[in-house]
Amino acid sequence: MRKMLFVLPLLVFTAVMFAQSGGLASVDGGGCFIQSLTAEDAPNDAGGGIDLTWTVAAGTALPDSMILERFDHDGIWSPISTLAPASGRKTDVGLDNDQEYSYRIVPFYNGAGEEPCEAVTAVPQKQWIHTGRIGMLVTLTLISLVIFYYIEHGKRGGKIYIRRIAGLTAVEDAVGRATEMGRPVMYIPGIMDMDDIQTIASMVILGRVAMKTAEYGSPLLVPTCRSVVMSVAQEIVKESYLQVGRPDAYQRESINYITDDQFGYAAGVDGIMVRQRPAAIFMLGTFYAESLILAETGRSVGAIQIAGTAMPSQIPFFIAACDYTLIGEELFAASAYLSREPKLLGSLRGQDIAKLFFMIVIVLGVLTATVGEAWEPATKVADFLKTITRVE
Amino acid sequence: MSWEVIGIWLGALLSLCLYSFLYKDNPFYKFAEHLFVGMSAGYWVIYTIMNVLIPNWWQKLVPMEGGFQPIWLVPGVLSLFMLFRLIPKLAGLSRLSLALIVGTGAGISITAMLQTRALAQVNGTIIALGQGGGWFNWVSNIIMVTGVVCGLVYFFFSKPHKGVVGGAANIGITILMVAFGASFGYTVMARISLLIGQTQFLLFEWLPTMGIHL
């Protein structure tokens, strides 16, 4: 529970920062055809932007065109945009923070500039908190608290049930089969780099698969599409071989880099498959159009294939061509499932609670939105739920 | 013979070499594969130097307008640590760089994943069941909401899939499989169009260079 306390200052900080707001300058058009021109600091940015909004007065003679001008701290009125004579808005970007800028609109009749409309001023500022993401911050904080709670629960020895995931129970069988056949195990960690969450999840599973190959004494091939993934994979596999007491069996050169090119990588891996003929192939990570090419080739060499990805467009190909497929979040649950570490199981339980929360929000939102069509007050609940889940 | 014709011939022969894999692994496929892998690896090295290393690091360390920005030595040193993997005694230093990459990647992904894969989906699912009007939209909306909720139930890992939970999970995975089937068919169609495109290249661009017009 002590870990939870760190989020309290964050919430207080958020509440304080939530009160921040940029200045708003506005003028009536006076005798000009512009009814009003407003300039205000662009919200939720790192500064350097001013939002401008203008409305054209009804019933006035409109110019042929108009030019929006900026008077900056260099002391010059400079045109920033030529506009059609209509109401509109524009964000002026690339400005210096905490400097005052003035704006005015100059009408043009028959190609000649007339007296400009009254100017407005604004100061661009940076915001530390993106107010449009407060809902996400609160949601993330709540989810984190629940996950922390269940991690603590798991660490204290609390029992956490985890259902059977067929693809993962088959890992040992697949490695065992490769050992019996005297053929290698191939692990393909997807085609994305280490900043991709699926690749990170894949690396954790690789550690577990490597432990099995080390125990059984099967060669492990890991062709990678990114040099950093290769380095991480080498470290993880080496660590796994050390953990099971087989550092001598670790072969660094079997974890290699092919190319960053998507189809170059697919061609290279296909070549390795048909020549080395692995008996078990794991394809876990982020895959795109190369997924079916790899899975089909793996099938053609008679390998048992376990695939997993959170890419919705590629899952169908894996389901069609592989023996087992981890669908979406099953990939992220795999590390907890394989290791049975209380910390990871607790995290998984916490995520389930988060899913339950989202389900409740959906059901409540749909019910209130539906009822709201006949009974107005219910709409407010639906609008509130839409607001807290809005992404900006 | 113009460069264009040479390009067409090169493209056609390499396409045929790659298609020969459909029969079995053979020297032609091996040649095309090694050429492809080698050239793409070389291309990416140059691409990374010219489009990542120079603009994102070197030009910030030593800006064109002059001066020296020592803060940019930090990523330079971390990159150097990666190269230390080649020296066994110093290889451990690369773990610092790797830890930074993995930690940063995971941290940034948290908000991105929550935004796009959780909140945006929840927000998009909160609709009035009668939205759009007519019985067809009612049915569509009910299927969508039921599919999302039951799909979420399927991904419950800490609850046995028995009873009500099991029933909901079965509905969820059924709807997922229907969606995957539709996606499979759609993508296969797209792949077939790629095959048609490459066949058209061979028939209508390559064959005419030999005087064969279809």
Nearest Cα neighbor of A206 from A191, A221, A218 is A221
Residue A298 is predicted with a pLDDT of 96
Instruction: Calculate mean pLDDT across residues B34-60.
Output: 94
Average pLDDT of span B185-206: 90
Of B37, B105, B179, the CB nearest to A200: B105
Q: What is the pLDDT of residue B177?
A: 95
Does A389 contact B129 at a Cβ distance shorter than 8 Å? no
Residues 6 or more apart in contact with residue A337 via CB below 8 angstroms: A162, A165, A168, B157
Residues of A within 8 A of B111 (CB-CB) are 136, 140
Q: Which pLDDT belongs to residue A204?
A: 92
Question: What's at B202, amino acid-wise?
Answer: L
Choose from B21, B114, B126, B195 for mutation: most chain A CBs within 10 A: B126
> In Å, how far is B3's CA from the nearest CA of chain A?
24
Please give the CATH topology (third level) of the domain spanning A21-122. Immunoglobulin-like (2.60.40)
| Range of A21-25, A53-57, B42-46 with top mean pLDDT | B42-46
Same fold: A21-122 with A166-339: no
pLDDT tens for A275-285 read 999 999 999 99
| A392 vs A155: which has the higher pLDDT | A155
- For the segment A16-37, the average pLDDT, to the nearest whole number, is 61
State yes or no: pLDDT of A3 exceeds 80: no
Instruction: Name the helix (H) or strand (E) containing A37.
Output: strand A34-41
> Under an 8 A CB cutoff, do A264 and B181 touch?
no
- What is the pLDDT, as a whole number, of residue A22? 46
What is residue B142's predicted lDDT score, i.e. its pLDDT?
Answer: 96
Confidence of residue A24 (pLDDT cuts 50, 70, 90): low
Q: Classify strands A185-190 and A34-41 as parallel, antiparallel or unpaired.
A: unpaired
Checking if the pLDDT of A221 tops 50, the result is yes
Alpha carbons A151 and A145: distance in angstroms, whole number = 10
pLDDT digits (tens, 9 = 90+) for A352-366: 999 999 999 999 999
Q: How far is B212 from chain A (nearest CA, A)?
A: 31
Neighbours of A180 (CB within 10 A): 11
Integer CA distances (angstroms), A372 to A125, B124, B129, in order: 40, 17, 11
What is the C-alpha separation between B157 and A351, in angstroms, rounded?
9
Cα-to-chain-centroid distance, residue B105: 16
CB contact under 8 A, B123 and A317: no
Are A163 and B160 within 8 A, CB to CB? yes
- Per the CB < 8 A criterion, the answer to whether B8 and B205 are in contact is yes
Instruction: Report the pLDDT value the prediction gives residue A9, as an integer from 0 to 100.
Output: 52
Cross-chain Cβ contact B157/A163 below 8 Å: yes
Q: Note whether A321 and A298 are within 8 A (CB).
A: yes
pLDDT at A7 over 60: no
Residue range A166-339, CATH number: 3.40.50
Which tokens is B2 given? 């113009």
Average pLDDT over residues B161-168: 94
Does residue B45 surpass a pLDDT of 90? yes
| Domain residue extents for chain A | 21-122, 166-339
pLDDT given for residue B21 in this prediction: 87
Mean pLDDT, residues B131-156 taken together: 94
**What's the whole-number mean pLDDT along residues B157-174?**
94
Average pLDDT value for chain A = 88
- At residue A18, does pLDDT exceed 60? no
Contact criterion met (CB < 8 Å) for A197 and B113: yes
Contacts of B119 in chain A (CB under 8 A): 135-136, 139, 389-391
Q: What percent of chain B has pLDDT over 90?
A: 72
Contacts of A337 in chain B (CB under 8 A): 157
- Beta-carbon contacts of A268 under 8 Å, excluding residues fewer than 6 positions away, are A223, A258, A259, B33, B36, B37
- Does position B171 have pLDDT exceeding 90, yes or no? yes
Cross-chain CB nearest to A232 (options B39, B98, B176)? B98
A10: exposed, middle or buried (Cβ count in 10 Å: 0-12, 13-18, 19+): exposed
DSSP string, A318-364: HHHH-SEEEETHHHHHHHHHHH--HHHHHHHHHHHHHHHHHHHHHHH
- Residue A75's φ and ψ, nearest 5 degrees, are 80, 25
Alpha-carbon distance B199 to B15, whole Å? 10
Give the DSSP H or E segment for A208.
Answer: helix A197-216
Q: Which range, of A12-16, A364-368, B104-108, averages the lowest pLDDT? A: A12-16
Taking 60 as the threshold, does the pLDDT of residue A205 lie above it? yes
Comparison of pLDDT for B40 and A158, the residue scoring more: B40
Q: Chain A residue with minimal CA distance to B162?
A: A163
pLDDT in tens, B6-16: 999 999 999 99
Tokens 């020592």 belong to B70
Assembly ipTM:
0.86
- Contact between A281 and A303 under an 8 Å Cβ cutoff? The reply is yes
pLDDT tens readout for residues A287-310 = 999 999 999 999 999 999 999 999
Contact A67, A151 (CB under 8 A): no
Task: Give the DSSP per-residue string, B158-175.
Answer: SS-S-HHHHHHHHHHHHH
Phi, psi of A138 (to 5 degrees): -65, -45
Q: Which residues of chain A are within 8 Å of residue B18 when distances are taken between CB atoms?
A: 267
Cα dihedral sign for A90, A96, A98, A99?
negative
Residue of A161, A195, A361 with shortest CB distance to B105: A195
Our CA-based measurement puts residue A289 at a distance from the nearest CA of chain B, in whole angstroms, of 9
Average pLDDT over chain B reads 92
Backbone φ and ψ of A325, nearest 5°:
-135, 130
CA A226/CA A192 separation, integer angstroms = 7
Tokens matching residue B166: 């099991």
Distance in Å, alpha carbon of A352 to nearest chain B alpha carbon: 6
Domain ranges of chain B: 1-68, 81-126, 128-214
Place of tokens 């060499």: A301
What pLDDT, on the 0 to 100 scale, is given for residue B201? Answer: 92
The verdict on A159 touching B (C-beta cutoff 8 Å) is no
Residue A243 pLDDT > 90, yes or no?
yes
* DSSP characters over A169-195: HHHHHHHHHHHHHT--EEEEEESS-TT
A94-143 residue pLDDT tens? 999 999 999 999 988 888 888 888 899 999 999 998 888 888 888 889 99
Structural tokens at position B211: 């005087």
What is the distance between the alpha carbons of residues A68 and A78, in angstroms, rounded to a whole number? 9
In whole angstroms, what is the distance from residue B76 CA to residue B69 CA?
Answer: 12
Confidence at residue B170, expressed as pLDDT on a 0 to 100 scale? 96
Using an 8 Å Cβ cutoff, are A326 and A168 in contact? yes
pLDDT at B114: 86
pLDDT score, position A286: 96
Question: Among the residues of chain B, which ranges form H helices?
Answer: 3-19, 27-48, 59-61, 73-83, 94-113, 120-125, 134-154, 163-201
Please name the residue that has the structure tokens 């490459």: B198
Alpha helix segments (H runs only) across A31-165: 134-155
Residues in A touching B47 (Cβ below 8 Å): 260
Is the model's pLDDT at B125 over the cut of 70?
yes
Q: Which residues from chain A sit within 8 angstroms of residue B181, using beta carbons?
A: 316
The mean per-residue pLDDT over the stretch A47-61 comes to 89
Tell which residue, A41, A48, A3, has the closest CA to residue A131: A41
With CA atoms as reference, report the closest residue to A343 among A206, A83, A148.
Answer: A148
Contact, B214 vs B207, CB < 8 A?
yes
